[in-house]
A and B are shown apart, each in its own frame.
Chain A
């Protein structure tokens, strides 16, 4: 096969015979056989395999190059960055949205970075991934809110801000001289159509959720939220915070939940977006008895989907939640019953 054949892309047979490409295909076949649904966001697994088989990925050097399988690796890597960040979760009722995150210091000597930002009185974001990118995007969102209320003297609808944000992220996936933002944002807010929670992804995709979790070990929190989300719609403000704390604990995998390692923020009807102070949070943790528990000895860490990196991140941390991909939620070894 000559390089020219590839460029013109006239004949699919030619590039399909390329061993590296063939390998990709085989890998996908194997995934299907395993019964895994192929997920865009969890492709790191896949990339690692390619590296392990000693093939350099030739489609990942810039954002604008497609892989023959129809993927943009740079964008996917950016989405991996979101998983590296410490967890952030969000959940909403009809009237309130709660954002919560785990604060992890970079070193023993440093303080942690701020992960929840107020955008306006009616909107806030929790981020996971590159905090620096998160700050830039929060500043953009603040500006948009200020500009909108300058023109209309009313708050910018949450969904519209999220679309603007997603469009901004999308541009970075289509310009050779740019890089995608390496941050995932949970955008919570209130407008005339109610309370909203969105997840914004580096790819420019966005989704609306009842509850969601992002960042490292967020799968455990997601499992908790999946089990309980149906009750969130009519949840009270206090119960929402309670569920936020419990979901947050899931991501800690045995570490004790204290107010010093988490931030809780809330926005809702009659309540401008604000972050609860540490004493309040500790009070709630005590009140709800969200104790961190020692992991049972017999419980092994079940691999998450795409656990390659997650495990590498915390090789020694045993998982608190066994309920994972494939396992029915209620059957999972739930760390606590409420």
Chain B
């Protein structure tokens, strides 16, 4: 029999876009709910956002199987942390753990593109952005995934964060209010959905602030 399949690959790209914005006392994490493979949509309602701790939420796109494995590892590690320390992991701690977990698989990486959003010790919004092998940076806002090429320049334009080269260092958090940030996120996704075939169906927005966590949804184009 002749070989029919192309060479097998352990990876796939299931698409999806993630955005996170940090404010002075809130953090918004958003992602669409479409899951695709090639030109096919697998499902229109798959959440890419997971709450890893009280004040840390991760949104991930890329290869769903790796993303799920990563989420499970982090959740298990967080359970162990709670047993050992009798408290929830802080967002900066979770950020470091995520980096280490990704780097642990440096030579057979998790094909996942993550943003981690949350509140830090002072209740200030924080966003950490990653590559697939674990290098990360704390920023004021970030976008990852298939629509990031469309959204990042738009956020750069709208949220002109102070240069990280400035001394003394300036806060990276955005000057927007919570509702303004949510509106901006909605606009980002509506726009990205127009041009990115891997983004669409539904938008899931998670908002973290002093009063807790809140989820909102908005329909997106389904074509």
Find out whether A and B make contact in their complex, taking CB atoms under 8 A apart as touching.
Answer: yes
Residues of A within 8 A of B (CB): 118, 142, 146, 150
Q: Is the interface of B mostly helix, strand, loop or mixed?
A: helix
List, in ascending order, chain A residues with CB within 8 A of B93's CB: none
Q: B72-89: which residues lie under 8 A (CB-CB) from chain A?
A: 72, 76, 79-80, 83
With contacts A146-B76, A150-B76 known, what are 5 further pairs, Cβ within 8 A? A118-B83, A142-B83, A146-B79, A146-B80, A150-B72
With CB as the reference atom, state the residue of chain B lying closest to A146: B76
CB distance from B70 to the nearest CB of A (A): 13
Total A-B contacts with CB atoms under 8 angstroms apart: 9
With CB as the reference atom, state the residue of chain A lying closest to B72: A150
9 contacts between A and B (CB under 8 A): A118-B83, A142-B79, A142-B80, A142-B83, A146-B76, A146-B79, A146-B80, A150-B72, A150-B76
With CB as the reference atom, state the residue of chain B lying closest to A145: B79
Q: Report Cα–Cα, A115/B76, bound state, in Å.
A: 24
List, in ascending order, chain B residues with CB within 8 A of A146's CB: 76, 79-80
CB distance from A262 to the nearest CB of B (A): 19
With CB as the reference atom, state the residue of chain A lying closest to B86: A118
List, in ascending order, chain A residues with CB within 8 A of B76's CB: 146, 150
Q: Report Cα–Cα, A23/B174, bound state, in Å.
A: 85
CB distance from A263 to the nearest CB of B (A): 14
List, in ascending order, chain B residues with CB within 8 A of A150's CB: 72, 76
CB distance from B74 to the nearest CB of A (A): 12
Q: Which 8 A-B pairs have the closest CB atoms?
A: A146-B76, A142-B83, A146-B79, A150-B72, A150-B76, A118-B83, A146-B80, A142-B80
CB distance from B110 to the nearest CB of A (A): 16
List, in ascending order, chain A residues with CB within 8 A of B83's CB: 118, 142
Q: Report Cα–Cα, A148/B91, bound state, in Å.
A: 27
List, in ascending order, chain A residues with CB within 8 A of B79's CB: 142, 146
Q: B117-164: which residues lie under 8 A (CB-CB) from chain A?
A: none
List, in ascending order, chain B residues with CB within 8 A of A142's CB: 79-80, 83
List, in ascending order, chain A residues with CB within 8 A of B80's CB: 142, 146
CB distance from A125 to the nearest CB of B (A): 12
With CB as the reference atom, state the residue of chain A lying closest to B69: A150
CB distance from B150 to the nearest CB of A (A): 34
CB distance from A81 to the nearest CB of B (A): 25
CB distance from A316 to the nearest CB of B (A): 37
Q: Report Cα–Cα, A150/B79, bound state, in Å.
A: 11
CB distance from B6 to the nearest CB of A (A): 32
Q: Report Cα–Cα, A146/B80, bound state, in Å.
A: 9
Q: Report Cα–Cα, A150/B80, bound state, in Å.
A: 13
Binary interface encoding of chain B residues 49-93 relative to chain A, with 1 for a CB under 8 A from any of its CBs, else 0: 000000000000000000000001000100110010000000000
CB distance from A101 to the nearest CB of B (A): 18
CB distance from B47 to the nearest CB of A (A): 15
CB distance from B96 to the nearest CB of A (A): 21
Q: Report Cα–Cα, A279/B79, bound state, in Å.
A: 27
Q: Report Cα–Cα, A142/B80, bound state, in Å.
A: 8
List, in ascending order, chain A residues with CB within 8 A of B72's CB: 150
CB distance from B64 to the nearest CB of A (A): 15
Point out which of B72, B76, B80, B83 has the most chain A C-beta atoms below 10 A from its C-beta: B83
Q: Report Cα–Cα, A118/B83, bound state, in Å.
A: 8
List, in ascending order, chain B residues with CB within 8 A of A118's CB: 83
Q: Report Cα–Cα, A116/B79, bound state, in Å.
A: 17
With CB as the reference atom, state the residue of chain A lying closest to B77: A146
Q: Report Cα–Cα, A170/B79, bound state, in Å.
A: 28
With CB as the reference atom, state the residue of chain A lying closest to B73: A150
Q: Report Cα–Cα, A211/B33, bound state, in Å.
A: 49
CB distance from A139 to the nearest CB of B (A): 8
Q: Report Cα–Cα, A150/B72, bound state, in Å.
A: 7
Q: Report Cα–Cα, A146/B76, bound state, in Å.
A: 6
With CB as the reference atom, state the residue of chain B lying closest to A153: B72
Q: Report Cα–Cα, A146/B79, bound state, in Å.
A: 8
Q: Report Cα–Cα, A142/B76, bound state, in Å.
A: 11
With CB as the reference atom, state the residue of chain B lying closest to A138: B83
